[in-house]
Every structure is written in C-alpha cells, then in structure tokens.
A and B are shown apart, each in its own frame.
Chain A
C-alpha cells in the first residue's frame, strides 16, 4: 500500500491530521504539541501543503498510538470555531447519524 507520505499532498483550505487510536480504534486528531486528542478543537490547523506534510510526517511516525493518519479538510469560522469539512469527517466526529439500536 502506498504510504500517505508518498502521495501528493494537495490542500485547498484549512486542514487537520486525523487517525484512529490503536488500542480502541477511536477517532483522534493530531495536536500542535506532538500528541493526539479526541477533540477536534485541539487539532493543529495547517493551511499549506508543506505544513500539512510536516504534521502528517510526525503523525505517521507515531505508529504505536495511531492507525492510518491522513489529512482532512476543516472549516474555520471567523470566531475560530472548527468544524469538519465534509460529511465523512462530520460523522467521524459526532457519531452515526442514526439512533443506535442499543447502548450497552
């Protein structure tokens, strides 16, 4: 499989790096302090391909804690509020759009 670092990085707006946590698969976001958070608000925002590549490079290097890091678009409001940039990321952040059959 092609490494995400070997793929051409092209971003069209503010972006973040996201992945899934190794031990439980939960959605996580790369922060600006070389760690991971399960809050999108903690994610480091990048705006250029070089910044994105640098953030992705350090995320990929943390193979122990995160699976499959990739760059995802976000929307940043005037007040700085960050929202997912597409439906897939919205669902990853907020959960399924349906009521789950049960909640154990």
Chain B
C-alpha cells in the first residue's frame, strides 16, 4: 500500500471543495453546461444514457480494505448498490446525481480516493501490473515509478490540455499483465548491465477507431531520466498532435504519420535540452516514494501446508485453486484472483455487499489489500496458502469463488448500449449469453485459455481488437450487428485480431462464438495448444469457413 502525505491529502481536499463550488454554480445557472462540461470531465464525471457516470481512479490497481469499504458506501448511499470495474483500473458508478457528487467525492477523499483526470484530454490514471510487488520474477515493484509519474502528471499545467487523452502503463515482469503495448506510452522496467533500473519505452499504442501496437522508441532510459523522457514525448505530442480532428488526435496517429524514427528523433532533440534539468530524479526522491509503500511482514511458512493438502480432497475447492490461485514471490503465500465474471452476470460488476465482504476477507487473509486488474477482476495479493480453504469458503459465500479466470467465460466487456451514450450496440447481454453457453466448467477447462473481449462501439473500451476472440458492436439500419475478430492478444506478444467475415446479427453472436470454439477444438495440434496459437498457426480461413459455411 502507498500512504498519501499531507500534500496529497490537501490537494485532494482542495479539489473536492473546488468541485463543490463548481457544481453549486452549475445548479444555480451561474455556469452554463458548455462552461461546466470540461470541469466535470476533469473530475471523472460523464453524462451517459440514463444518468451521470462517475469514474474513480484506483492508481496502479492497489486498494486498501478501508477504501473498498468506502466505495461500497458510495455505491449504497449515492448510487444503486453496485460499481463497475473498468479495463483501466478504475471503478465507475452509473447512477450518481450531480447534486450529490460533491458529497460522494468528499467521502472518498477521506480515505485517499480521488477522480482527478479520469476523463478529459489529459494524463489518465497510470496503470500497472495488478500483481506488482508480489509476482515471482518481477524485477522490482513498478508501482514506485507509477506513483512518481502519477504525482508528476497530476494537474501538470502543460499536460492538462493535450490534443487528446493520454494513457501510461508500466510492467516489471516478463509476462505483461498491464497491456503496455496498447497504451500511449508503455514502460517495461529493466536492469542494465550495471544493475541500474531503467525502462524500455514504447510509444504510440492504442485501440479505438485506428488501433496500433506500440513501438519501442528507446530500448533503455535510466530511471533517473524517466520523467524528463516522458516530458519530452509529451512535448513533441503537444506540439505536433492534431487538434483539428478528434479522430486523428491521439499520439498513435502522430507516431504512425511521422514514423517511429522521425518521432524518436524529435523526442531525442527535446530530451537533450531538458534531461539534466530539474526533472532529473534524485535517488532520495525515489527512495522517499519507495518508503511510503508498505509491504506485509511475511512469515516463514511451508510451501505446502497441511490445510491445503487436506482441502485438495474436495474437488470443488481443487477446481477453484487450480484456476484462481497463482504463485507468489514468497514461499507459503499465494495470489488469489477473484473473478468478477459470474455466469450470466455483467462482467466487472460488484455489489456493495460483495465489496464490503471482500474488504473483510482482505483484512482477515490478505493484509488488508486488494488489487484491480485490467481484465475487470480483483485479486487478494498476500494470502497464506494455509488460509486458501477459508478464503475459498468466504468467497463462495458471496458468489465470487468462480473458477473461470482466463477461461472462455472470463470476458472483458464495456458497458455498451445499456449504459453508454457513445455505444452503437449492447455488450453485456452478449457476454451474459456466451457465459451461459460455456457455463460447464469441464468444457471451459477443455477449451483452455481464451480471452473474449467485447466493445459496444468503435471506441473499443472493451479492448475487442486484442481479444483472442474480439466482438465489436455496430449499428446497421437501426439493428445491432457484431463484427468478429480472432487472434488478438494484449500481452508481451500483443497483436491485433483479424476480421473473420461480415458482421452477424445480435441473436447469432453466441452461436458464432460456439462455432469458432468448436473449430478450434477440432483444429488444435494438441490439447495444450492455446486458441490464439492455433489461429496464429492456421490463420483465419479455417475459422471463417466454419462460421460462414451455413450462414
């Protein structure tokens, strides 16, 4: 956990007071909607189909139990008793009233939660690996750097009016759980030959209307130089980024149009002018941030406790353990992923009661800490292996011991047309129907790792481009249709999926997914060959034939 200092607390409280005044002026008519819109967006307040939507940042996906309880309180008191975890380590409330927003914001500020820059053309929540600090083999905890960048970019005047929104993600593991290659800037933490910390810097990734995989702009930037290098990138983007056309305003378009070499040369020239200035990080600053992260006092525990050995006799427990429990860097401990993908329910939603119960479970079994991943699941990062049977029972009691992590029913989906004012088609009912088709755990296990991502419009909040199976909702003559892509992935081998053919109507989407999965089961070289590897080996054609032969 990171502990905010007095400066952070003052900043957040002042922001709440400022927004309270802005809301008051809006409701009295002193501010018009045109004047108010940018102010509310900079505080994460959107207007959706039915109501305002409030987006709250969970920096680098780390939550304390008291913070999760406070989110539950906001869900219960100001919303409709639930929240929606997003693909960028945020939580959204869908029914909040503008008149009550300042109170909700103040309640959250008391526990160090805020929503600054969760919308608008500025630097968004800096995201990271949800297993940061506990993943085996991690080079070092990337959240220290994420926090540095968060502080650097929060309310930075030069980055408050960028051509378009800007997103940074950081990973420090070989396996990229933070999807850095689909971010405006992706940072992969490395050590150089001298053992010094630095970053491979990638730039120009993003999804939406024009998807791109980020390219490496510099193979190693020393940690002391990371702020100045990020500033140099942002300055080049701020100078040349298109402000005349919203569809061409993201940095990915600039990088694509200039070419990575030209863009890199521009950044290098800018960087050389500022790299040895005030942004050069003193080791003391880095250590100060590091010292504000608190780590549990791990005990020396056996790798295989008796409690776990005994519980293995229960096949239901064992199915959950094999699916949802992952290796921890410390012997005797485990990471527990809590799937928020119950069969037939909206992906990523948690009720206030579930949030409260999870906070209690975290207090009892995970040193009071919860993590939020971009796959819209949660994690308990520090569970003693001997406590796993008890954690499983506690999760089962709240309907969240769902052994489908990374399986076909672990679907990423945006809110879609059921909530979103930008959407062309619904996402959630499509996800619900697919999970029902694959509700059988044995079948899902037989299929193996398969990520389905669903977006209700081309803005791609559901990351459909990088789903092993991607589903994009479009509207044709007032009807919902869906384009299907296969072969995408968001990890270290990130790729964009390929379209398999013409869009299909709403009622046929789950059938098409079943056809694709059946084709995969028939085509895979061996049971261990993942869906995405079969697509890479064989291409789209055999899947296209299977899906469209009878359509």
Contacts and interface: CB of A to CB of B under 8 A. Distances in A.
Q: Which of B34, B48, B49, B418 is most buried by chain A, counting CB atoms within 10 A of its CB?
A: B49
B20 interface: no
A104 B76 contact: yes
A54 interface: no
B81 A64 contact: no
Interface in A80-94: 86-88, 91-92
Contacts of A24: 51-52, 97-99
Interface residues of B, number: 40
A103 B48 CA distance: 19
B80 A63 contact: no
B429 interface: yes
A102 interface: yes
Contacts of A91: 49, 417-418
Contact of B345 (A20, A23, A92, A101): A101
B165 to A, nearest CB: 16
B478 A25 contact: no
B529 interface: no
Interface in A52-104: 63-64, 67-68, 86-88, 91-92, 95-98, 100-104
Contact of A87 (B75, B417, B428): B417
A91 B417 CA distance: 8
Q: Main secondary structure on chain B at its contact with chain A? A: mixed
Contacts of A48: none
Interface string A33-44: 000000000000
Interface in B45-80: 47-52, 75-77, 79-80
B432 interface: yes
Contact of A104 (B27, B49, B80, B475): B80
Which of A20, A91, A101, A102 is packed against the most chain B CB atoms within 10 Å? A101
A27 interface: yes
B480 interface: yes
B346 interface: yes
B47 A101 contact: no
Contact of A20 (B47, B75, B429, B475): B47
Interface of B: 26-27, 29, 32-34, 47-52, 75-77, 79-82, 96-99, 345-346, 349-353, 417-419, 426, 428-429, 432, 475, 478, 480
21 contacts: A1-B34, A20-B47, A22-B26, A22-B27, A23-B27, A23-B97, A23-B99, A25-B47, A25-B97, A25-B98, A63-B29, A63-B32, A68-B33, A86-B478, A88-B417, A96-B428, A97-B426, A98-B346, A101-B349, A102-B75, A104-B77
Interface of A: 1, 20, 22-27, 63-64, 67-68, 86-88, 91-92, 95-98, 100-104
